[in-house]
A = this chain, B = another copy of it.
Amino acid sequence: MNLTLDRSVKKEHLYLEVYHYYKELILKQKLLPGSKMPSLRKCAQELKLSRTTIENAYLQLAADGYIISKAQSGYYVTDIALKQHKPAASEHETLNPIRYDFASSGVDRESFRFELWRRYIKSALRQDERLLAYGEPQGESDFREALCDYIRERRNILCSPDDIVIGAGVQSLLHILCPLVKEKQTVSFPTPSFIQGSTVFRDYGFEVRYRNKDSGVVYVSPAHMTKWGEIMPVSRRLELIRYAAARDSLIIEDDFENEFVYLQKPTPSLFSLAGGQNVVYIGSFSRLLLPSIRISFMVLPPSLLPLYKEKAASYNQTASKAEQIALCQFIRDGHLAAQTRKLRRLYSAKLKQLLEAVQKVFGINARIQIGAAGTSLALTLPCSTPGAQLKKQALANGLRLQILKDTEQEVTVILSCSSMPGEDFIPACELLKETVETL
């Protein structure tokens, strides 16, 4: 083997040297698809490294799709080298790989401290006894305690850990909530875009409406009223609470993106304004941590608690126990608060930078809508081609877009800055301009 190891690297990173060596061989097709990798033992002997180091390298190669293991036989090179220039499976329509993604709601890739999170997960996975048992149906109790403290401090929400229900995402929570409030029969959403929410209510037989405050259940995201981050003013929040109370409607407050409100003071939650009456408060972590961490929670008001308690044991917990344990400790150690501060500063600056880029490319009079929160702005462009076609053509050019609406004369697109690096804003806007002009 010709691998010259840089043995000065930290011992725990040696496996990466082995990983990169084989990755190169496979991508350059010096190791052909289908050929067998040397056995762990043999490879360890030749490189004078431990079997564990080689195994870690192989595991990583397998995880990244370069090799595949066959039981009782060993590792084999996949055909990844042949597929290299094919588009990703989820983007069948694209001809080019995506260069700029304005439609992503992922997190900024520089902002997440993977090493830190891995340490918390590792620590959680050391709790053998705890992981050998099923979790509490309502969610781990220490995690609910930590959440309770957290939302009291940050959102002035006064509740007990017993009022909190954990679930793997908002839908999992709605699957518990909907049957409890079935007799309300109608639900209102601010826009038709939150399909994940309306689908669940429809599945339970609810009539789904939009912007109709006479409904039995009123679902709102006060910190994300529109895709471009408008927030609900306090006066309207109070009005909504009074109206709902008079009609005995239930408000579901999905506090999505409340952490990204760039005002001096955070806007009070509906839950706290209503004194915890007739409001279900929902919070999530997908935009603060990793979108792939499926943990959300809801705070039930006193009116729903007895009903829930009766049925609680009939629902298994859906969120990963290890991730609940890790997140609990992560919150207690102050990392969630720190991450939130960091993201708020970052997104506030990025959104400003995106606005400047749009104005530079489309002119100072470009029709832009931008709110007090979030990570997106809306841009309306003169364009007689339907939005769907613009989206398709943009994708073919390597630009992913989200279309808000279109008329015969114009199209409104949503541009999100959250996961795009700042230096791409200008070239991405230029590509958008070019795409519209050559339609």
Chain A residues with a Cβ under 8 A of chain B? 56, 59-60, 62-65, 68-72, 89-90, 104-107, 109, 112, 114, 117-136, 141-142, 168-172, 175, 178-179, 195-196, 199, 203-205, 286, 290-294, 311, 313-323, 325, 329, 332-334, 337, 419
Contact = CB atoms under 8 A, between A and B. Distances in A.
5 contacts: A59-B329, A63-B127, A105-B134, A168-B168, A199-B315
B128 A114 contact: yes
A115 to B, nearest CB: 10
From A106, A117, A118, A134, residue with most partner B Cβ within 10 Å: A134
Contacts of A317: 169, 294
A196 B313 CA distance: 8
Nearest to A338: B71
Nearest to A205: B205
A64 B125 contact: no
Contacts of A319: 168, 294, 320
Going nearest first, the 5 A-B pairs with the smallest beta carbon separation are A71-B334, A292-B321, A179-B203, A199-B314, A168-B318
A182 to B, nearest CB: 8
A69 B334 contact: yes
B314 A131 contact: no
Contacts of A89: 141
A59 B119 contact: yes
B318 A169 contact: yes
A178 B195 contact: no
A203 B205 CA distance: 10
A292 B317 CA distance: 9
A70 B335 CA distance: 11
A217 to B, nearest CB: 16
Given A168-B318, A199-B315, A291-B133, A332 B68 contact: yes
Contacts of A72: 334
From A114, A123, A132, A175, residue with most partner B Cβ within 10 Å: A132
From A62, A70, A123, residue with most partner B Cβ within 10 Å: A123
Contacts of A63: 123-124, 126-127, 325, 329
Contacts of A172: 168, 172, 318
Contacts of A129: 109
A125 B169 CA distance: 20
Contacts of A132: 106-107, 109, 112, 290-292, 419
From A106, A199, A203, residue with most partner B Cβ within 10 Å: A203
A308 to B, nearest CB: 13
A72 B153 CA distance: 14
A142 B83 CA distance: 15
A286 B320 CA distance: 12
Contact of A62 (B60, B69, B332): B332
B292 A123 contact: no
A60 B131 contact: no
Contacts of A169: 316-318
